[in-house]
Amino acid sequence: MFAIIKTGGKQYLVQPGQTITVETLPAAVGAAVTFETLLVAGENGAVEVGKPTVAGKAVKGKIIEHGRAKKVHVIKFKSKVRYRRKAGHRQDFTRVKIETVG
């Protein structure tokens, strides 16, 4: 059993029991979350492709934690003109454990 879901502008291939890291979701830790935007769903060799989404199916999961990723350093530099800029960014994320697909 597998599915390709869309959340936070990204697509994820998920299976039951898997843990994924997605963009921040507005729910508390331990809350149940449902992803209804399934692009592809497969089970026992049969694959169902959505046009644009698969109707009547959903992926259910549980929020494990919220956090922030490691810092990404952004550096801008132009030679010969003394132009240098340095900035950092930490992206927020939510870790979700997939419980059921379909």
Q: Is 51 exposed, middle or buried (0-12, 13-18, 19+ CB in 10 A)?
A: exposed
What proportion of the chain, given as a percentage, has pLDDT over 90?
90
Q: Which residues contact 22 (CB under 8 A, 6 or more apart)?
A: 7, 8, 10, 12, 93, 94, 95, 96
75-96 pLDDT, tens digit per residue, is: 999 999 999 999 999 999 999 9
pLDDT (0 to 100) of residue 45: 86
Owning domain of residue 9: 2-101
CB 102 within 8 A of CB 3: yes
pLDDT (0 to 100) of residue 67: 97
Number of domain units in the chain? 1
Least-confidence region, from 25-34, 40-49, 78-87, 92-101: 40-49
Torsion 14-19-23-27 (CA) sign: positive
pLDDT (0 to 100) of residue 102: 79
Instruction: Look at residues 33, 16, 36, 15 and name the one whose alpha carbon lies nearest to residue 24.
Output: 33
Rounded distance between C-alpha atoms, residue 25 and residue 83, angstroms: 38
13-28 pLDDT, tens digit per residue, is: 999 999 999 999 999 9
